[in-house]
Amino acid sequence: MEIGIKMSGKKPQAEELRIGVFICDCGSNIAGHLDCASVTEYASTLPGVVYAKENLYTCSEAGIGEIQKGIKEQNLNRVVVASCSPRTHQPLFQNSCAAAQLNPYLFEMVNIRDQCSWVHMQEREDATQKAKDLVRMGVSKAAFLEPQRDIEASLIPRVLVIGGGVAGLSAAQSLADMGLDVILVEKDAEAGGLLRRINRLAPHGEKAADRVLEMMESIKARPNATLYLGSRVEDVSGYIGNFEITIRPDGGDAIHEKVGCIVVATGAVPLKPEGLYGYDGTRVVTQMELEERFLSGSMDAQRVVMIQCVGARCPEREYCSRICCRTAVKNARLIKEQNPEAHVHILYRDMQMYGTENEQMLWDARGEGIRFDVFSPDRPPVVREDRVEFYRPLTGEMMEIPCDLVVLSTPLVPREGSQALSQLLRVPVDQNGFFLEAHAKLRPLDFATDGIFVCGSARYPANVEEAVSQGLGASSRIATILFKDKLITSAIVAEIDPESCVGCMGCMEMCPYEAITYLPEKNICEVNTVLCKGCGCCAATCPSQSARLKGFKPEQLLAQIRAV
Amino acid sequence: MVNKDILVIGGGIAGIQASLDLAEMGIHVYLVESLPSIGGKMAQLDKTFPTNDCAI
Amino acid sequence: MLDVGRHPNIDLMAYSEVEEVAGDCGDFRVTVRRKARYVEEDRCTGCGACKEKCPTVLPDLFNEGLGTRKAIYSWFAQGIPSTHTIDPAHCRQLNGKKCGICQKVCQADAVNFDQKDRVVELDVGAIVVATGYKVFDPSQIPEYQYRQIPNVITAIEFERLLSASGPTSGHLHRPSDLLAEAEIEALEKDVKKSEKTLDRFEQKYDQASAAFYDAYQKGEYAGDEDREKWAEKYAAHLALVEPLEAMKKEAEGFGVAKRLAFIQCVGSRDFRFYPFCSGFCCMHSIKEAIIANEHERETTSVIFGMDIRAVGKGFEEYKVRGGNQSGIRYIRGRVAEITEGPHHNPVVTYEDTRERKVVSRDFDLVILATACAPSEGVDRLAGILGIELNRFGFFKTGTSRPLDTTRPGIFACGCAHGPMDIPESVAQASGAAARAAQIVAAANLRKAS
């Protein structure tokens, strides 16, 4: 049952308000600390209220039944439930209203538990009065509620994966196996990313080249995966479900495609430690350069010193790149395997051999005669022509290690192009330049921007196993979207009145979801209702009140406030 | 013959995430947990690093 | 958690165990035992009236035994499902003694002592194993005296003490102080009883006990049996009151624990128990130290470790900030021994390897960062599922398919796979979901709306 309500800022005139209020006892959670019967009685006296009922548990089957019965028998056109937090049961109550033919957005919830009974447990009288006040506020707002319709958008079941390294290949393969079309774009002439430069993988010594081959065959075997090598993503527009992308092959014509979701798997690169520890690329090299020497067979040093945390965990770059310790240990063991007489000495601050396999590698390495010594960051080792000098805090002595090769373990750093990509996709990067996920703990692969995901070292340095897992994870996140027929999002979104908007773009700066765009031809801002999450920041900012949040419009909120 | 449902054993954070992803994909999930309620070790944490968000 | 309980596509079976798995990838037949709660899950509303009346008090395992619960209980207040459960091992009614109070007060008529275990059969195409880990029991390390010294606790116990919803509402009371206060409470009860007894005598003879006792000791009332009893009771009373006063005086000085010591690698990187690194405990200790400092600004913490592994995104910065702003000091050394000093203060003996000194120092509270061990029953579950364990005792997975176990159609994620922190568990969980979804993709119509 829909009601035509004038959005004029005045109380609705079209039809008589018939508000139903349901006060919840919540067992003893609420009723134990305030007088629910009294609140219910009070509610029945409020303007517009035609029905008030107290329930033991509104969220129970019986309680839901009462709401639906009330809607039908009393012809309610607004429902207010005074109970717990909306986070617990608002969707349940809204769906119950919908099932009884009342628009679910004509439902208002008042929290008299978390915000009343639970925090005023020893103050029964005051708590009762406060509950009455809160109910009165809720009823006043309810009078101004308008019916809304959920927003629907189409979904294109195709995914763009940017980056053909381990993470990207893993994501692409998994997506293809789930029946989605995949477009993988890789800027190099060959896929595989950093893995192409690596000799062997920890912990089992597998050849990296074999792994790359395996993954490439996998992708080629999947007809619904299309690989663009030697290509870049030139342009991206649109939003979740409906992105329009332009792919530019090197020296070729642009290719236009439409995709529903995007995966960022652009990886990272090892830092070249110019100016640190006498780095020269010949006698003082990086771990990656050591890998290349292994591959070309030119690794013949007899006495090797490795130095950890070069250019990391320092003021310029505070983070720990987490995979360099295991890389050093892996390579140290390979040196010994190739030449058991070789001397390998690793100078470190903390050996970051987290987990099961890494720790085992560390132990095995020590058993193989690889030496480990801790150094203090305030007295770092000094690299000389034929030796490395360092202060050993554990014995208080200055030590000298003769060597013919020094290997510096440097961190992975974000690629040069990541800034540009972040702007193209309108996704954030953190203070270290890595792509910033929606939530550090619970949404490590999502961006706050809907429909775009990240995996692998583009997010943060990851080893092969982690990159593969994260690629799989990103594919699952995408499936939760693209497996649906259509995208349905809440009706509680912002809208900007084109008549009064002056195009100041204050709202755009505030929007955390990149949901507002500026239309230069009209000099106004416009909300993308699919991306909008209804946070209200724009509405709070807009100096002309042109941006308004549905369900939380000024007249609705003011009614609530005035009712106090 | 391939059954269409999936079993997730364990109702901690990993089990919960796996179940929700699968459910959102439209797949029916049985989530089996041995304790009286889900939440696992994470429910026993006060806050989590590095954001110091509450754990629930 | 709430989303799981409400999602139409998720059938949540808590308080249940997998007993048998037959069949193969794509067509598994799983037998699940749904244990009897003796409470009807769909009737119980979680109101808690039952546990208020239940007479049986037990240690609360969710709070690591630091608090109590009743024989009818909810695992924790915000648990999903929100139903209560009756512990069949301790419930009076279920063990032949008359009670049933919970049933009487339950307004939802949810208590059912006749409930039985239910065994259900499920047909599934794929299985995801996410059984987590078990906390190492440090009583296996005798030199740390975990059970002997009350102020030596595990990280998870410390977590419960720090929690606003925990047994001390977030106040870092030392376990020795909590024990003393419990003793004082018990003694006060005894004193009250004793006073009642003495009162009867005082009324009868219209004389104060103290005055009577004085006279009695001087030899008056010799041979009077009744008065002898009175004297006995009075002597017993004094024997209670004197120590009680002393304890109460000491208790006046009780505050919160401010000088904390965290010992890393308890059970981890240790050949006697688990040779591997548990991955998250360094960060866990740092976090606990930072939060303890937030609760009480004077709190200082020393973290004893070999390597302090802060390897995740944002972790190194967090660790450095902790050192700069939250009173944390990092000492490189494994703790050799913990003994108990005066005032129940644990004394930690260690070698500070950077300073090359052996030191003994006392703290208010010592927290053991216990290992992340393969969960209880992992052997049995591996047997039921027909999958292998790796050499560390976790479920074995493939090299190029890191979430696949040794049996097609069965996947592992999170700590069941190996020690890892929350973001990694979450990422792996999504990954395992993808793998499982691929198995059943053909059978599902992929119409999820």
Q: Which two tokens stand for residue A13?
A: 């005139």
Q: What is the ipTM of this complex?
A: 0.95
Q: Is A282 helix (H, G, I), strand (E, B) or coil?
A: coil
Q: Which residues pair with A154 in a beta bridge?
A: A486
User: Is pLDDT at C432 greater than 90 in this prediction?
Assistant: yes
Do residue A441 and residue B48 have CB atoms under 8 angstroms apart? yes
Share of chain C above pLDDT 90, in %: 81
Reading chain A (564 residues) residue by residue, the pLDDT tens digits are 333 333 334 454 557 899 999 999 887 778 888 999 999 999 999 999 999 999 987 877 778 889 999 999 999 999 999 998 887 788 889 989 999 999 999 999 999 998 999 889 889 999 999 999 999 999 999 999 999 999 999 999 999 999 999 999 999 999 999 999 999 999 999 999 999 999 999 999 999 999 999 999 999 999 999 999 999 999 999 999 999 999 999 999 999 999 999 999 999 999 999 999 999 999 999 999 999 999 999 999 999 999 999 999 999 999 999 999 999 999 999 999 999 999 999 999 999 999 999 999 999 999 999 999 999 999 999 999 999 999 999 999 999 999 999 999 999 999 999 999 999 998 999 999 999 999 888 899 999 888 999 999 999 999 999 999 999 999 999 999 999 999 988 899 999 999 999 999 999 999 988 899 999 999 999 999 988 989 999 999 999 999 999 999 999 999 999 988
Contacts of A480 in chain B (CB under 8 A): 21, 24-25
Write out chain A residues lying below 8 Å of C429, CB-based.
Answer: 473
**Helices A61-73, A86-99: crossing angle, 10 deg rounding:** 50
Q: Which residue has the tokens 């014995």?
A: A395
**Rounded distance, CA A370 to CA A393, Å?**
19
Are residues C313 and A358, on separate chains, in Cβ contact within 8 Å?
Answer: no
Q: Please report the pLDDT score of residue A295 as a whole number.
A: 96
| Cβ(C410)–Cβ(C126) below 8 Å | yes
Do C15 and B36 count as a contact with CB atoms less than 8 A apart? yes
Task: Compare CB distances from A352 to C276, C309, C418 and report the shortest one's residue.
Answer: C309
Closest approach of A352 to chain C, Cα-based (Å)? 6
Pairing of strands C357-362, C346-352: antiparallel
The amino acid present at A258, given as its one-letter code, is K
Residue A2: per-residue pLDDT: 36
Token pair for A544: 């002309």
- Alpha carbon distance, N-terminus to C-terminus of chain A: 30
Handedness of CA C17, C19, C24, C28 (dihedral sign): negative
* B51–A441 CB contact, under 8 Å: yes
User: Which residues from chain A sit within 8 angstroms of residue C277, using beta carbons?
Assistant: 353-356, 358-359
Judged by CB atoms closer than 8 Å, whether chains meet at B25 and A483 is answered as yes
C7 neighbors C80 (Cβ within 8 angstroms): no
Given a contact cutoff of 8 angstroms between Cβ atoms, the answer to whether A507 and A528 are in contact is no
Query: And the tokens for C105?
Result: 């007060």
Q: Which of C14, C125, C416 comes nearest B11 by C-beta?
A: C14
Strands A268-270 and A412-414: antiparallel
Concatenated DSSP letters for C35-90? Answer: ---SB-TTT-----HHHHH---EEEETTTTTSEEEESEE-SSTT-SS---EE-TTT
Structure tokens at C70: 């009743």
- Residue identified by tokens 């968000």 is B53
pLDDT above 70 (res C443): no
Amino acid at C227: R
Alpha helices (H) along A201-344: 208-220, 287-296, 324-338
Residues whose CB falls within 8 Å of the CB of residue A114, separated by 6 or more in sequence, listed in order = A84, A85
CA distances from C39 to A138, A139, C74, C86, C98 (A): 36, 37, 11, 7, 18
Could you say which of C356, C394, C423 has the minimum Cβ distance to residue A444? Answer: C423
CA dist., res. A83 & res. A25, Å (int): 7
C422 in reach of chain B (CB within 8 A): yes
Q: Name the average pLDDT for chain C.
A: 93
- Return the residue in A155, A356, A373 with the most chain C beta carbons within 10 A, the one to mutate for interface testing: A356
Q: What residues of B are in contact with residue C26 (Cβ under 8 Å)?
A: 1-3
Of C399, C427, C434, nearest to A204 by CB-CB distance is C399
Query: What tokens does A540 get?
Result: 């709070």
Chain A residues close to B43, C-beta within 8 Å:
none
CA distance linking residue C128 with residue C25, whole number of Å: 12
* Whether C89 contacts chain B with CB within 8 A: no
Angle made by CA atoms C304, C423, C319, in degrees to the nearest 5: 30
Residue of chain C whose alpha carbon sits nearest to that of B2: C26
Query: Helix A324-338 vs helix A355-367: angle between axes, to the nearest 10 degrees?
Result: 40
**Distance between CA atoms of residues C60 and C79, nearest Å:** 14
Q: Where are the beta strands (DSSP E) in A56-148?
A: 78-83, 107-111
The predicted structure's pLDDT at residue A14 = 56
Task: From chain C, pick out residues whose CB is under 8 angstroms from the CB of A489.
Answer: none
DSSP letter at C95 equals G
The three-state secondary structure class of C151 is: coil
Q: Which residue has the higher pLDDT, C449 or A253?
A: A253
HEC secondary structure over C303-319: EEECCCCCCCCCHHHHH
B25 contact residues in A (CB cutoff 8 A): 476, 479-480, 483
pLDDT surpassing 90 at residue C29: yes
Q: What are the residues whose beta carbons fall under 8 Å from the beta carbon of A82, sequence distance 6 or more?
A: A21, A22, A23, A24, A39, A43, A109, A110, A111, A112, A131, A134, A135, A138
Interface test with A, best of B25, B45, B52 (most A CBs within 10 A): B25
For the record, the structure tokens of A425 come out as 């996709």
C130·B12 Cβ contact <8 A: yes
Please report, as a single letter, which amino acid is at residue A178.
M
Average pLDDT over residues C183-212: 91
pLDDT at residue C6 in the model: 78
> Number of residue pairs across B and C with CB atoms under 8 Å?
253
- What does the alpha-carbon distance between residue A131 and residue A29 come to, in Å, rounded to a whole number? 13
The answer to whether the CB atoms of A477 and B51 lie below 8 A apart is no
- Work out the minimum CA distance from A276 to partner chain B, whole angstroms: 30
Cross-chain Cβ contact B6/C62 below 8 Å: no
CA C16 to chain centre: 21
Contact C443 B4 (CB under 8 A): yes
Chain C: closest CA distance from residue B44 (Å) = 7
| The Cα angle at residue A327 between residues A269 and A387, in degrees rounded to 5 | 100
Report the C-alpha gap between A213 and C27 in whole angstroms.
32
Of C28, C125, C156, the CB nearest to B44: C156
CA gap C430, C426 in Å, rounded: 6
**Average pLDDT score over residue span C179-195:** 92
**Residue C435 contacts residue C400 (beta carbons within 8 Å):** no
Chain C CB contacts of A472 below 8 Å: 403, 430-432, 434-435
Q: Is the pLDDT of residue B41 over 80?
A: yes
* CB-based contact A456:A471 (threshold 8 Å): yes
Name the CA dihedral angle for C7, C13, C19, C23, rounded to a multiple of 10 degrees: -20
At A9 the pLDDT is 42
SS3 labels along A192-232: CHHHHHCCEECCCCEEHHHHHHHHHHHHHCCCCEEEECCEE
To the nearest whole Å, the CA of C372 is away from the closest chain B CA by: 11
Distance from CA of B20 to the nearest CA of C (A): 7
Place of tokens 């998250």: C280
Report the gap between the CA of B24 and the closest CA in chain A (Å): 5
B55 contacts on A by Cβ (under 8 Å): none
C11 in B contact zone (CB under 8 Å): yes
Closest CB to B36 among C14, C166, C318:
C14
Rounded Cα distance between A85 and A125, Å, is 22
The residues that bridge with A495 in the sheet, in sequence order, are: A548
Nearest CB partner across the interface for B17, out of C10, C62, C430? C430
C 245-284: CB under 8 A from A:
269, 275-277, 279
C156 interface with B at CB cutoff 8 Å: yes
At how many degrees (to 10) do helices C209-217 and C225-252 cross? 120
What's chain B's length in residues?
A: 56
Q: State the greatest distance between any 2 C-alpha atoms of chain B, in Å, as a whole number.
A: 47
CA distance C247 to chain A (A): 31
Neighbors of chain C by Cβ distance (3+ pairs < 8 Å): A, B
| Neighboring chain A residues of C430 at a CB cutoff of 8 Å | 445, 472-474, 476-477
C37-to-A100, C16, C59, C152 alpha-carbon distances in Å: 34, 10, 18, 35
Q: How many CB pairs under 8 A join A and B?
A: 19
> How confident is the model at residue C446, as a pLDDT?
43
Q: How many helices (H) and strands (E) does chain B have?
A: 1, 4
Contact call for residues C133 and C66 (beta carbons, < 8 A): no
From A444, which residue of chain C is nearest by alpha-carbon distance?
C423
The H or E element that residue B41 is part of is none
Which helix (DSSP H) or strand (DSSP E) does residue A341 occupy? Answer: none
Distance from the Cα of residue A470 to its chain's centroid: 13
Q: How far is residue A240 from each of residues A260, A418, C77, C262, C436, measured CA to CA in Å?
A: 6, 21, 38, 46, 25
> Which of chain A's residues have a Cβ under 8 Å away from the Cβ of C315?
320
Q: Which residue has the higher pLDDT, A84 or B35?
A: B35
Chain A residue nearest residue B56, CA to CA:
A442
Q: Is A236 left (phi over 0), alpha (psi -120 to 50) or beta?
A: beta
Listed in sequence order, the residues at least 6 apart from C138 whose beta carbon sits closer than 8 Å to its beta carbon are: C144, C146, C154, C266, C267, C368, C370
Quick one: A8 exposed, middle or buried, by C-beta within 10 A (0-12, 13-18, 19+)?
exposed
Instruction: Return the SS3 of A91.
Output: helix
Who among B12, B13, B30 is closest to C11 (CB)?
B30
Token match 């009064």: residue?
A500
Q: Which residue, among C400, C411, C425, would best test binding to A if mutated, counting the most A CBs under 10 Å from its CB?
A: C400
| Residue A222, min C-alpha distance to chain C (Å) | 14
